[in-house]
């Protein structure tokens, strides 16, 4: 036993204080959610003990059944949730309870709107687990001991959820964690048996361990017949509590689909994901035959803040023969599907599996392939059955899905079918179509899928590259996500149709142009050959080539990218990541039918000719979302030209 118990007071980090303040002021509209979070944490602790005990059986300190136990004291207005799971060491208590060290905390705080309902959803998306206890409690006490440590190596943690918390050494007979909530005066309902049983039944029916509460005594007390002596030892002895399981304690994924309701699926999702919102879609499947496993996959409604953090935990909960193995088994789904949540339970993997062995196990490879296809099929079914829901998914996770074609070549076609974009035929910026929709509307004689990558959707809609397509009534896909150019480098065709970037290379409309138009183009190129040579001489090394264009109808000039050169979006991605970017010179295309070019062809004053070319080249750069190398010089030449025009 410790000779001296030393209490240490430690402060919460600033961001933790802000979150706790929000908790204490009851941002959650559904307060009872705290109990689900605490039971879920307790269940996780038991699962982790089971796993560690596979290699260290001595961690199971007794033959006691692993469980969660809930007690309450109506008079003291307290609620206690105890588990006999893995427990925590002192350092783990400080790390897990003294800090909210999740990526995206600052982003979360910046996103707060001041609207309680909206902010409540944000907190749910962020996932704060243990701290939800402060919704109903004005003080929380934790006593915990890690499995394998001595009885006197327990740690006691106490906080009122304000600026600091107290931590001290203590004693605990069994390993595990006991959390006592000193309830607020107006939260007495959570110290009542009937209310607690209903909440536990609602949120904990699907976990695989029993949740015990004191057995209700429904019998009426016997009337005193006056024969018993008052004050006997028998009367004085306290009655030992009897406990009973109040949940089914059967893992939901092990039950037949027909026996599981939609509400149960939704609650189980919240349990495994610690998300406070309902899932968008799910798929429950049992595979028998060469491989035997059960999977339950969920698509979240909203992206977590750490979706783009490659170091963040991701993957499925892995069970082997109903035994929990790990929380974030990344090997069962590719990285572009990292938003998928759920569980996979296999009968073919060894119980002593490790992350390293998982990467080399052929059984895992086969399961990964099957689970990936199932996830993609689930998304495709959602797109077909409920386009509105799928649009919501796409807004949250579309950019993540775009990583797929490069990462998962065998499923490139399946992934491509899920991509969707605004096009020149969209009635609004939010109306998006997939490639199948585009192909259905293709013009007679059209052989290619035309697309444009721009800095923004607004810039794409006003791009001069679209002029000839608008004139001929040809639909063009408008891409404006930073990843789009990189994505299209992986996609060369879809359903037998080649992709064509309308801003890259020489424009070839194939069967959409007749022979007469092609002959006219050739004649025009010869007619203006001297002008393009003159422009190239003036611009020199600023451009790769100067040529007559047939893609413009209203604008005097535009910039194009050579077929094999890197586009502007890809350059920005590489520059942002600190990589060296090869020099790329644009192709300057001029519209021979524009009045300015006709005048330029007749301009004898070389200085004025040079100024006009500089202005046209600068305008074309700006139209592409680029930057001027010398803005001051551009402005000076523009002002000079304007003055001459006003003389």
**Is the model's pLDDT at 41 over the cut of 50?**
yes
For residues 86 and 146, is the Cβ–Cβ distance under 8 A?
A: yes
Angstrom distance (rounded) from CA 336 to CA 402: 8
- For position 588, what pLDDT does the model report? 92
Helix axes 193-204, 33-55, angle to 10 degrees: 60
**What's the pLDDT band for 508 if we cut at 50, 70, 90?**
confident
CB 378 within 8 A of CB 283: yes
pLDDT surpasses 80 at 495: yes
Residue 258 φ/ψ, nearest 5 degrees:
-65, -20
Residues 6 or more apart whose Cβ sits within 8 Å of residue 280: 299, 300, 301, 382, 389, 392, 393
Q: What is the pLDDT of residues 250-275, one digit of tens each?
A: 888 988 999 999 999 998 898 888 78
Structure tokens at 512: 């959409």
Q: Give the 3-state secondary structure of residue 512.
A: helix
Q: Any idea which of 167-181, 199-213, 345-359, 371-385 has the lowest mean pLDDT?
A: 345-359
CA distances to 486, 494, 564 from 618, in Å: 26, 36, 23
> Which residue has better confidence, 118 or 589?
589
Least confident residue range of 5-9, 12-16, 562-566: 12-16
How is the chain split among helix, strand and coil, in percent rounded to 5?
45, 20, 40
CA distance 153 to 27: 36
Hey, what's the torsion of the CAs at 456, 461, 463, 467, to 10 degrees?
Answer: 160
Question: What is the average pLDDT score of the chain?
Answer: 83
Residue 441 pLDDT greater than 50, yes or no: yes
Residue 479 confidence (pLDDT) above 90: yes
The pTM of the full predicted model, rounded to 2 decimals, is: 0.71
Residue 127: which region, alpha, beta or left (left: phi > 0; alpha: psi -120 to 50)?
left
Q: Residue 314: which of 282, 296, 293, 336 has the closest Cα?
A: 336
Q: How far apart are CA 80 and CA 178, in angstroms?
A: 7
Q: Which residue has the higher pLDDT, 243 or 112?
A: 243
Q: State percent of the chain over pLDDT 70.
A: 85
What is the rounded average pLDDT of the residues 44-48? Answer: 87
Report the alpha-carbon distance of residue 486 to residue 568 in Å, rounded.
Answer: 11
Rounded Cα distance between 593 and 470, Å, is: 17
Secondary structure class of 637 (helix, strand, coil): helix
Question: Are β-strands 448-453 and 497-501 bridged in parallel, bridged antiparallel, or unpaired?
Answer: parallel
H or E segment and range at residue 55: helix 33-55
In this model, does residue 105 exceed pLDDT 70? no
How is residue 221 written in tokens?
């007390």
Token representation of residue 575 = 């520059």
For the segment 4-23, the average pLDDT, to the nearest whole number, is: 67
Q: Where do the domains of the chain lie, and which CATH numbers do they carry? A: 7-216+241-245 (3.30.565.10), 252-387 (3.30.230.80), 419-512 (3.40.50.11260), 518-561+578-646 (1.20.120.790)
| Chain segment 375-431, per-residue pLDDT in tens | 999 999 999 999 999 999 999 999 999 999 999 999 999 999 999 999 999 988 889
Cβ-count burial 603-622 (b if 16+ within 10 Å, e if not): eeeeeebebbbbbbbbbbbe
More confident residue, 582 or 606: 606
pLDDT on residue 176: 94
């Amino acid at each position: 036993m410790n000779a001296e118990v030393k209490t240490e007071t430690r402060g919460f980090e600033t961001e933790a204080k802000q979150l706790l303040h929000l908790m204490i002021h009851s941002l959650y509209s559904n307060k009872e959610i705290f109990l689900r979070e605490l039971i879920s944490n307790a269940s996780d602790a038991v699962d982790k003990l089971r796993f560690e005990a596979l290699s260290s059986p001595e961690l199971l300190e007794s033959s006691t059944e692993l469980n969660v136990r809930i007690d309450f004291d109506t008079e003291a207005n307290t609620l206690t949730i105890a588990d006999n799971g893995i427990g925590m060491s002192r350092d783990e208590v400080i790390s897990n309870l003294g800090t909210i060290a999740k990526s995206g905390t600052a982003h979360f705080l910046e996103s707060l709107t001041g609207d309680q309902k909206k902010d409540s959803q944000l907190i749910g998306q962020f996932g704060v687990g243990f701290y939800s206890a402060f919704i109903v409690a004005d003080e929380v006490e934790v006593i915990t001991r890690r499995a394998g440590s001595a009885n006197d190596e327990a740690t006691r943690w106490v906080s009122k959820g304000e600026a600091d918390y107290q931590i001290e050494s203590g004693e605990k007979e069994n390993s595990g964690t006991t959390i006592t909530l000193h309830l607020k005066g107006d939260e007495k309902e959570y110290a009542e048996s009937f209310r607690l049983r209903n909440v536990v039944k609602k949120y904990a029916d699907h976990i695989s361990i029993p949740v015990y509460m004191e057995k209700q005594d429904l019998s009426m007390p016997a009337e005193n017949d006056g024969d018993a002596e008052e004050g006997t030892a028998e009367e004085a002895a306290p009655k030992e509590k009897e406990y009973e399981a109040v949940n089914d304690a059967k893992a939901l994924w092990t039950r037949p689909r027909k026996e599981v309701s939609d509400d149960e699926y939704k609650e189980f999702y919240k349990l495994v994901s610690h998300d406070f919102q309902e899932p968008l879609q799910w798929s429950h499947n049992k595979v028998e035959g060469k491989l035997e496993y059960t999977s339950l996959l969920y698509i979240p409604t909203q992206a977590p803040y750490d979706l783009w953090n490659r170091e963040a935990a991701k993957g499925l909960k892995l069970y082997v023969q109903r035994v929990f193995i790990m929380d974030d088994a990344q090997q069962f789904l590719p990285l572009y599907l990292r938003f998928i949540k759920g569980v996979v339970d296999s009968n073919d993997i060894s119980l002593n599996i490790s992350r390293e062995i998982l990467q080399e196990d052929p059984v895992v490879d086969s399961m990964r392939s099957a689970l990936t296809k199932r996830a993609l099929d689930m998304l495709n079914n959602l797109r077909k059955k409920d386009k509105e829901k799928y649009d919501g998914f796409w807004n949250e996770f579309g950019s993540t899905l775009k990583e797929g074609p490069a990462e998962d070549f065998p499923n490139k076609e399946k992934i491509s079918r899920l991509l969707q974009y605004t096009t020149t035929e969209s009635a609004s910026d939010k109306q998006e179509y997939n490639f199948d929709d585009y192909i259905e509307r293709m013009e007679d004689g059209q052989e290619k899928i035309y697309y444009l990558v721009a800095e923004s959707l607004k810039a794409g809609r006003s791009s001069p590259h679209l002029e000839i397509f608008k004139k001929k009534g040809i639909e063009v896909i408008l891409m404006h996500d930073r990843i789009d150019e990189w994505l299209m480098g992986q996609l060369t065709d879809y359903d037998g149709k080649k992709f064509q970037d309308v801003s890259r290379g020489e424009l070839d409309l194939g069967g959409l142009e007749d022979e007469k138009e092609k002959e006219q183009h050739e004649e025009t190129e010869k007619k203006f050959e001297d002008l393009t040579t003159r422009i190239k001489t003036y611009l020199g090394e600023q451009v790769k080539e100067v040529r007559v264009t047939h893609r413009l109808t209203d604008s005097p000039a535009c910039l194009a990218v050579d077929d094999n050169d890197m586009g502007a979006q890809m350059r920005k991605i590489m520059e942002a990541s600190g990589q060296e970017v090869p020099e790329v010179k644009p192709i300057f295309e001029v519209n021979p039918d524009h009045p300015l070019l006709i005048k330029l062809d007749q301009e004898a004053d070389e200085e004025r000719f040079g100024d006009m070319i500089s202005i046209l080249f600068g305008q074309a750069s700006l139209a592409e979302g680029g930057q001027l190398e010398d803005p001051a010089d551009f402005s000076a030449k523009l002002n000079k030209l304007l003055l001459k025009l006003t003389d």
